[in-house]
């Protein structure tokens, strides 16, 4: 219960908070928000969790900040070049992380994992009716599964979409979805071409997605030090032809602020 009134022992004069000149000059980029964790696929999630274990909290926050701000981000969906530039900037930032906070083997895997996320981000398309962003994700499989592993539900979705719709409806409404999945699974052995074609299509998808992130207008930025990297990136942004230069500069400032405490 809240009670209004005064306390005799207190003066109740208006309190004042003095803010220093330095405080007044605090840039918006100095206020760093915590980033949501990205899952993606089982492989992506496992790779990031393993590579970031033991790394400074600021580094982990920065990585997920890149994913949230530069990759899986609804901004620029109506301007393909601006969106591409934003993703490329994130990859350049990921390169700095790899070169400065990881071993050589870790760096190679980290760059590959971040490129996979960037490639998924590039497939983003806005649904004109709902406004939702839809992304294409390569086939997922459990860690340690054989190369030719394909989820039964994925085969169903590809080759019997109506059955897949019934399966989803049964799951949502608490019906007997197990029998639907089992009946379909019994068909798979007699359709060896399903698995072969599915894997071939998925490999082609991965190849095309990888090619989509093969070029980067910010890739020449030096990663020798944070300030040098920042200056190089800002110069490249200024000459990149992007329309919203201010947003790209702010993104870079945010990246710098997240890592400054690690380097200090």
- Flag whether pLDDT at 16 surpasses 60: no
Q: How far is CA 152 from CA 167, 181, 183, in A?
A: 12, 8, 11
Tokens (6 digits) for 227: 């300030």
Which of the four pLDDT bands, split at 50, 70 and 90, describes residue 34?
low
* Residue 125 DSSP class: E
How does the average pLDDT of the chain come out, rounded? 87
How buried is 186 (Cβ within 10 angstroms: 0-12 exposed, 13-18 middle, 19+ buried)? exposed
Three-class SS of 185-251: HHHHHHCHHHHHHHHHHHHHHHHHHHHCCCCCCCCCCCCCCHHHHHHHHHHHHHCCCCCCHHHHHHH
CA 191, CA 41: separation in Å to the nearest integer? 26
CA 33, CA 144: separation in Å to the nearest integer? 35
145-175, pLDDT tens digit by residue? Answer: 998 899 999 999 999 999 999 999 999 999 9
* Residue 19 DSSP class: -
- Flag whether pLDDT at 29 surpasses 90: no
74-97, pLDDT tens digit by residue? Answer: 887 789 999 999 999 999 999 999
How large a percentage of the chain has pLDDT more than 70? 86
Phi, psi of 126 (to 5 degrees): -85, 130
Tokens (6 digits) for 28: 């918006």
CA torsion sign, 233 to 239 to 243 to 245?
A: positive
pTM above 0.85, yes or no: no
Tokens (6 digits) for 57: 């909290």
Neighbours of 84 (CB within 10 A): 20
CA atoms within a 13 Å half-sphere pointing along the CA-CB vector of 247: 12
115-137, pLDDT tens digit by residue? Answer: 999 999 999 998 888 888 899 99
- Flag whether pLDDT at 24 surpasses 60: no
- Flag whether pLDDT at 28 surpasses 60: no
Whether the CB-CB separation of 66 and 36 falls below 8 Å is answered with no
Partners of 216 in beta bridges: none
Q: Which stretch of 22-36, 104-118, 176-190 has the lowest confidence by average pLDDT?
A: 22-36
């Amino acid at each position: 219960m809240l009670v209004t009134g005064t306390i005799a022992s207190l003066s109740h004069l208006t309190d004042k908070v003095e803010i220093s000149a330095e405080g007044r000059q605090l840039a918006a980029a100095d206020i760093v928000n915590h980033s949501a964790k990205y899952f993606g696929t089982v492989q992506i999630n496992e790779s990031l969790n393993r590579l970031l274990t033991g790394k400074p909290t600021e580094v982990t926050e920065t990585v997920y900040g890149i994913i949230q701000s530069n990759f899986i981000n609804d901004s620029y969906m109506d301007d393909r070049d601006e969106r591409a530039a934003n993703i490329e900037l994130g990859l350049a930032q990921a390169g700095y992380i790899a070169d400065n906070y990881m071993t050589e083997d870790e760096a190679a895997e980290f760059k590959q994992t971040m490129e996979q996320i960037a490639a998924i981000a590039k497939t983003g398309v806005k649904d004109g009716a709902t406004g939702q962003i839809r992304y294409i994700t390569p086939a997922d499989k459990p860690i340690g599964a054989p190369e030719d592993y394909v989820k039964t539900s994925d085969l169903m979705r590809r080759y019997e979409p109506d059955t897949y719709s019934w399966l989803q409806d049964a799951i949502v409404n608490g019906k007997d979805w197990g029998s639907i999945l089992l009946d379909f699974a019994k068909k798979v052995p007699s359709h060896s071409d399903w698995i072969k074609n599915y894997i071939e299509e998925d490999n082609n998808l991965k190849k095309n997605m990888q090619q989509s992130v093969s070029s980067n207008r910010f890739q020449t930025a030096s990663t020798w030090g944070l300030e040098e990297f920042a200056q190089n990136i800002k110069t490249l942004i200024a000459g990149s032809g992007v329309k919203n230069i201010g947003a790209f500069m702010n993104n870079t400032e945010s990246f710098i602020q997240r890592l400054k405490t690690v380097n200090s």
